[in-house]
Amino acid sequence: MSTGGTTVRSRAWRSIFASQEEIAAGEERDDAAKQSGCTPVDQVGNRCRASISGVLRSVVLRPTEGVPTVEAELYDGTGAIDLVWLGRRRIVGIEPGRRVRVVGLVSDMDGRRTMFNPRYELRGRPGE
């Protein structure tokens, strides 16, 4: 009755007592794992090129020194990464709750993983 070191019964109990946040994180991890070639956020190193898939938690316009900047937080169930597009006031389709796949160079900025001007692919929302 064991599958991969975890019994079916223990997985069932965990799903009953898991918080909504834990369930959502598990769903994001599962969805990101289905994306070919994607790396989980918690496994991406500094100064590494990566492809990451997840859901946008927040999107804000934050002018930096007079330059318009769109900033977003991408969450994949293992962690979050900040996405920063310089010189943009808005990007059609980049909005909270949207699923995206991004590709770019990951940098460590003030202790947070950050990707500047990533290429992105909008993905369908659940049920689309």
pLDDT tens by residue, 35-83: 668 899 999 999 999 999 999 999 999 887 888 999 999 999 899 999 9
pLDDT attached to residue 62: 87
Q: How many domains does the chain have?
A: 1
Residue 89 structure tokens = 């006031």
Residue 97 has pLDDT above 60, yes or no: yes
In a domain, 22, yes or no: yes
Query: In Å, how far are 11, 14, 65, 68, 69 from 54, measured between CA atoms?
Result: 24, 23, 29, 24, 21
In a domain, 128, yes or no: no
In a domain, 103, yes or no: yes
Quote the CA–CA distance of 45 and 87 in Å, as a whole number: 26
DSSP conformation letters of 49-97: EEEEEEEEEEEEE--BTTB-EEEEEEE-SS-EEEEEEET-S--TT--TT
In a domain, 76, yes or no: yes
In a domain, 65, yes or no: yes
**CATH number of the domain encompassing residue 12:** 2.40.50.140
In a domain, 31, yes or no: yes
The reported pTM is 0.75
Range of the domain at 71: 2-123
